[in-house]
Structure 1
Amino acid sequence: MSILFVATYLFFGFQAPIDSIPKKDTTPIYSILTENQRIEISETYEVVHNIERNFTILSPEGLAHAFTSVFYDKLNKIESVEIEITDPLSGKTIEKAKTKDMTDAAIYSSSSIFDDNRHKYFEVKSSKFPVQVTIKIETTSASNFQLRDWVPVHRYNQKVIKSKLTVAYPEHIGLRYKAVNLLGEKSENKVDNRLEVTWEETNLPVQTPDMKKEDDHKLLLAPVGFAMGDYVGKMEDWSGLAAWQFKLNEGRKALPANFEAKLKGMVANVDTDYEKIQILYEYLQKNYRYVSIQLGIGGWQTMTATDVVKYAYGDCKGLTNLMQAMLKSVGIVSNYTLVQAGKDADDIETDLPSNQFNHVILQVPMGDAASPVWLECTSNSLPAGFLGDFTKNRHVLVIDGQGGYLTKTPSYNSFDWNTIHSKNTVKIDLEGNATISTKIKVDGNFAEDMLMVKNYLDTRQQRDYFNRNSPVAGLIINQYELSVDHKDSLLLADLSYEGVIQKFVQNTAKRMILKPFLGKLTDEMLLNNSLNQIDEYQIELPEVMEAENLAENLILEEEGIKVTLRTSLEGKSLSVNREIHLSLGEDISEESKTELIKRINALGSSNFYFIKNTAALRHD
């Protein structure tokens, strides 16, 4: 789905006196910026956006701040760009550039075959500093559907002296906004039937790369009334946006009669709706290819289901619309659903109805208070009902024909979805080397990682991946086997391998030292705040020894937390078993989670010491 945006990274300085440029600061400053932006929305929903930025670049690092990129496509047009670079000491112009002097390039992904997203860009170059840059840009958009966020500070190590935004619009169209961490002033002015709202920020703190993104200054903007092409809508609430999206796709679900008959035949003898969903979803996955299609209003309006069937490909909108049509043909109702996708994507601002989405999935209500089945129609491998980390645990807009509503996708945070069970047999020889045989079973979220490994890495890359991610350092895998399956919507993966570990233990004249080998818990393993992990090690020592420091069972137990480490030695056989059961609240802070991980990892961080030539050995 296309997000109508103007991707500009325009960083320009103001013409400051040379003696006002900071000489020394604890936080380095690479550029100094003043900015003025004005957005005009017309009665016909068109948008004119004027930007003027002036800045002083103080060092080579600041040249990156001056990189200028202006987006355009069928709905967004570049009217003019003027750039002037001057020497602040002499006042002489070093270089001037206009739109025709900028480099033109496509913006596309490897999956796109239909795409009109392009940008013009310009790089400022200079060998002497300071240098001053002034830029003026005017763009127009045929639609006010997507209004860009205003972010006064564009770059780290940039000093913003003043940044100003004015939005002018007809009163009947309306404007909604949400200010986040703004420190300046807001003013409003009404002229006839038009309103002007102005925000001004001055002397903002210099930002550094360690700043938390939630601390950034920004203004989120959204229209109330909007239009794209002939499709007019209102976003007074989420239902209004959903109703507009429904109207945009209305009449695009018709299927060829022979294809519809084929679908009905595929599920004729199937009893449950879930089985029908599963059969049709797997048919979609095997027979239709995902591509990105971003052409004007086509960034939001789906291809017809008939065209997707004909060409055997579609984007997220087209494949989801086809899947919805396929289910409808066998009597199953489903809902087209908008989502902000991405593994690390932030959740949307639920109190600001607006376009905050970049992807489409399908919701299938199951009735009888059962949870809905969610379908990621661009995936050719996920089981029906599992979205994976691309769209899990975030607010989505469900479009149900009566309007729509916000709900949340599954978080997959129960033990069923976050299970790891490993069994390891290790044999140590007299030189301290070891052979290892391991079987690992993972369910749910962790199985998704194995699915990606299986589908996207070749045999050599898979072996390297398992070597790198082994809890035991220095593992060299000789052979391995990976299988991925599912039970209904639950992904299951089984990995087994055999390998060797050089110098697994350290030998001295009187002792053998076994270094820590239990896998470390990581932040990524607790992304879902849930973990059910069991690690079993059966280690055969090279001879009978006496354990010098085998601790009694170690236990860490608190609310939602239970970790146990059990060790025992019988003859040459050392058993080490660790169980981790974590069910953490959603409100746990990242700092608390990091501290918990350290405490858990500390339980298995000690060396094991064994005394050679023990009494048991002499007795034998």
Structure 2
Amino acid sequence: MRLTALLLLIGLSASAADPEFPVSAIPAALLKNADVVQRLEEVTIKMNSLRDVRMTQRIVLTILNEKGDQYSGFSSWYDKERTITGFHGALYDASGKQIRKLKQSEVRDASGVSDNNLYDDSRIKSHDFYYKVYPYTIEYEVEFRDRNSAIFSPWVPQGTDNYAVEQSRLSVTVPADYELRFKQFNYNGQPVQVPGKNDKTFVWEVKEIPAKRKESLASPWRTRSVMVYLAPSDFAYGSYTGKMKSWEDFGKFIGVLNAGRDVLPANIKTKVHELTDNVQDPREKIRVLYEYMQQNTRYISVQLGVGGWQTFDAAYVASNRYGDCKALSNYMYSLLKEAGIRSHWALVKAGEGETDFMEDFAVNQFNHMILCVPMQKDTVWLECTSQIKPAGYLGDFTDNRPVLLVTEDGGKLVRTPAYSLDQNLRSGIVKASIDAEGNLSGISSTRFTGPQQDWYHSLINSVSPEKQLQILKEKLNLSSYDIRKFNYTPHPDAKPVPEITEELEITVSSYANVSGKRLFITPNVLNRATIKLSQDGERKSDIWFPIDTRELDTVEITIPDGYTPENIVKPVAIETRFGKYSANVKVEGKKILYIRSCELRAGQYPAKDYPVLEEFLNSIYKTDRNRVILVKKEA
């Protein structure tokens, strides 16, 4: 008996020491195009009650190369409502042999306050083995307890490009009478449902998902890989409870959460009436109060307790002269209310080009708040965190996307304005001359409207003229040149969208190539396309253009005496479903006249059309660099 027991013990010890995650066990198909292979992911969520949600996340990743190092660590936030109850980790070599375990003393615990946050009670626990012998494998297991049940992170087995998945599993357990809401993308079938005595469990699982190659102009990730969004029906948030079965429900909750926070101090009420009582036009009242708010407040993020969704009240903003997006929007709401103008808070998923949104699934997809002021014939939108935007203009941070209005009757989805081709315009005129050595000198005047002017507007309001010049030189990307003068003139009151005019005086040494008696001149001086597509293999992702764009260019170049055209490229005109482009060059006497037009049309296009897009954009890239050949006449 003793011998048998001893042999059994030896066998168990040997088995325990067997490598668990050898790289050699990864299927060959998962190594193709991959920087990292997710060997195993297990996410387990259990809702004991609305104020007691437990989650465990275990993840095992094999890092194949230096590019995969970005996935080599683990971090997670916590605060008073969400606690981290366990944090474990291990490092394995290529054979799957464990090199070492994470020590609790190695876990960093830092403030989660970002540079633009004044207050934030969140913290971050993180760890990284900083191992560089490829390939290697890391394992982390982290346990959480959350006293809120309003937000469930989506299950995203394959997080990004060049990321393969061997196995991933999500298990969600809720009380038997609770309605767990979910929406699936690219998942075959329905989750396995396992009934329990007093609860029920939903299980999703995927295996062997090959890595996706990075593709230019790709459609949103949920259209390309497996994702499952989870949402509560009933939930707790701080000391509040609410429902999220519909947008109406969610809007009602936000309204309750922020009720009674619109009371202004007496001196601010007086100021509102001083500014608006003698103004008859409601739009003018909005503009006056918006500019007053801009001049007397500034944006600072404040995230405390239920601060993620609940605003500081109007009196707080009036006293302290700062606030986050919710506080400033609520303050503007309160100013308008005092002036007799009705408005609504509007929750939005903000970000340049972030127009993808699930309208048919009520779940918090928002990260920002703006203000909506409905008028008799149209609507005025206000970005209350900006001290420089004109009233009624949003820009590409929040344009053309659904937003949730918080109304007296609950939430209602509407869309912010989409900027048309004429409202997102770059229109430039260049007048230049080239001498016999090929040196160019000239001036340009360019008008930028709507979203096209946003970058320049930010530039002139955020950095010094010296820094502006440095950034401008990098952006122009012309070799051996000098910007002798530059100036930006904003036109915030231009209609229907604000504009900025750029004036430049430049010189470019050896702009034209000189070869014997010939000059080679590229007439497109300042606005050459930068996108050149090249893709091997079949396109997988749909094509995504988030916004309509138009560019118009006119260039007039005076050439040196004695030169005549030897070769002039023929006019180019291309029209596809993605947009249209034209370029035309003429030489008349001593002048080269170049006219260019380019339009790109917003939309999501099928992957099968990628060859057409590739040909279209590459033709633009090539044509923008076409040269006129001039030859000097014999004396």
Deviations 1:108-153 (A, max 9, x none): 3211110112111121255767766554322111111000111223
Select which of 546, 566, 569 maps to 2:587: 569
Equivalent in the alignment of 1:512:
519
Could you say if the C-alpha distance between residues 412 and 31 of structure 1 is closer, same or farther in structure 2, counting changes exceeding 3 Å?
closer
SS of equivalent residue, structure 2 residue 306: helix
Could you say if the C-alpha distance between residues 305 and 594 of structure 1 is closer, same or farther in structure 2, counting changes exceeding 3 Å?
farther
Equivalent in the alignment of 1:397:
404
Deviation at 1:320, TM superposition (A): 0.3
TM-score (norm 2): 0.85
Could you say if the C-alpha distance between residues 111 and 60 of structure 1 is closer, same or farther in structure 2, counting changes exceeding 3 Å?
closer
**Deviation larger for 49-58 or 492-501:** 49-58
2:370 aligned with 1:361? yes
**Aligned residues of 1:114 and 1:293 also touching (Cα < 8 A):** yes
- Stretches of structure 2 lacking an aligned partner (at least 5 in a row): 1-17, 533-543
Could you say if the C-alpha distance between residues 587 and 571 of structure 1 is closer, same or farther in structure 2, counting changes exceeding 3 Å?
same
Equivalent in the alignment of 1:9:
none
Deviation at 1:380, TM superposition (A): 1.0
Equivalent in the alignment of 2:146:
141
Could you say if the C-alpha distance between residues 451 and 16 of structure 1 is closer, same or farther in structure 2, counting changes exceeding 3 Å?
closer
**Deviation larger for 238-247 or 544-553:** 544-553
* Aligned equivalents of 1:559, 1:18: Cα separation in 2: 46
2:123 aligned with 1:118? yes
Equivalent in the alignment of 2:628:
608
* Aligned equivalents of 1:490, 1:325: Cα separation in 2: 26
**Aligned residues of 2:426 and 2:550 also touching (Cα < 8 A):** yes
Deviation at 1:207, TM superposition (A): 4.7
Could you say if the C-alpha distance between residues 234 and 363 of structure 1 is closer, same or farther in structure 2, counting changes exceeding 3 Å?
same
**Aligned residues of 2:52 and 2:146 also touching (Cα < 8 A):** yes
Which amino acid in the other structure matches residue 366 of structure 2?
F
Deviation at 1:287, TM superposition (A): 1.1
* Aligned equivalents of 2:414, 2:519: Cα separation in 1: 58
Equivalent in the alignment of 1:10:
none
Select which of 449, 459, 474 maps to 1:453: 459
Which amino acid in the other structure matches residue 495 of structure 1?
E
Which amino acid in the other structure matches residue 552 of structure 2?
I
Equivalent in the alignment of 1:235:
244
Equivalent in the alignment of 2:40:
34
Deviation at 1:330, TM superposition (A): 0.7
* Aligned equivalents of 2:474, 2:433: Cα separation in 1: 21
* Aligned equivalents of 1:17, 1:549: Cα separation in 2: 63
* Aligned equivalents of 2:124, 2:265: Cα separation in 1: 39
Select which of 376, 384, 387 maps to 1:380: 387
Deviations 1:58-85 (A, max 9, x none): 7777665441212101221111223345
Which amino acid in the other structure matches residue 290 of structure 2?
Y
**Aligned residues of 2:113 and 2:119 also touching (Cα < 8 A):** no
**Aligned residues of 1:173 and 1:226 also touching (Cα < 8 A):** no
**Deviation larger for 563-572 or 44-53:** 563-572
Deviation at 1:248, TM superposition (A): 0.3
* Aligned equivalents of 2:425, 2:508: Cα separation in 1: 26
**Deviation larger for 248-257 or 101-110:** 101-110
**How many corresponding residue pairs?**
597
Deviation at 1:596, TM superposition (A): 2.9
Could you say if the C-alpha distance between residues 604 and 279 of structure 1 is closer, same or farther in structure 2, counting changes exceeding 3 Å?
same
**Aligned residues of 1:84 and 1:97 also touching (Cα < 8 A):** no
**Aligned residues of 1:65 and 1:155 also touching (Cα < 8 A):** no
SS of equivalent residue, structure 2 residue 567: coil
**Aligned residues of 2:19 and 2:97 also touching (Cα < 8 A):** no
Aligned counterparts, 1:120-519, within 5 A: 120-126=125-131, 134-153=139-158, 160-183=165-188, 186-207=191-212, 209=214, 213=221, 214-345=223-354, 347-368=356-377, 370=378, 372-415=379-422, 417-470=423-476, 473-486=479-492, 487=494, 490-518=497-525, 519=527
* Aligned equivalents of 1:530, 1:609: Cα separation in 2: 34
- Stretches of structure 1 lacking an aligned partner (at least 5 in a row): 1-12
**Aligned residues of 2:60 and 2:140 also touching (Cα < 8 A):** yes
**Aligned residues of 1:547 and 1:610 also touching (Cα < 8 A):** yes
**Aligned residues of 2:74 and 2:140 also touching (Cα < 8 A):** no
* Aligned equivalents of 1:542, 1:92: Cα separation in 2: 74
Two-structure CA RMSD over aligned residues (Å): 3.2
Which amino acid in the other structure matches residue 601 of structure 2?
L
Give the % identical residues.
28
2:92 aligned with 1:72? no
**Aligned residues of 2:439 and 2:510 also touching (Cα < 8 A):** yes
**Aligned residues of 2:528 and 2:625 also touching (Cα < 8 A):** no
Deviation at 1:434, TM superposition (A): 2.1
Deviations 1:437-460 (A, max 9, x none): 111122212121220121122212
**Aligned residues of 1:342 and 1:390 also touching (Cα < 8 A):** yes
SS of equivalent residue, structure 2 residue 285: helix
Deviation at 1:182, TM superposition (A): 2.7
**Aligned residues of 1:472 and 1:517 also touching (Cα < 8 A):** no
* Aligned equivalents of 1:288, 1:387: Cα separation in 2: 18
Equivalent in the alignment of 1:578:
596
SS of equivalent residue, structure 1 residue 297: coil
SS of equivalent residue, structure 1 residue 440: strand
Deviation at 1:183, TM superposition (A): 4.7
Could you say if the C-alpha distance between residues 364 and 59 of structure 1 is closer, same or farther in structure 2, counting changes exceeding 3 Å?
closer
Select which of 564, 576, 581 maps to 1:546: 564
**Aligned residues of 2:37 and 2:61 also touching (Cα < 8 A):** yes
* Aligned equivalents of 2:596, 2:550: Cα separation in 1: 11
SS of equivalent residue, structure 2 residue 510: coil
SS of equivalent residue, structure 1 residue 38: strand
SS of equivalent residue, structure 2 residue 103: strand
* Aligned equivalents of 1:164, 1:146: Cα separation in 2: 19
Deviations 1:149-204 (A, max 9, x none): 11223576665443222111124432111122235872112234422111122233
2:107 aligned with 1:102? yes
Could you say if the C-alpha distance between residues 538 and 16 of structure 1 is closer, same or farther in structure 2, counting changes exceeding 3 Å?
closer
Equivalent in the alignment of 2:555:
537
Deviation at 1:312, TM superposition (A): 0.3
**Aligned residues of 1:27 and 1:206 also touching (Cα < 8 A):** yes
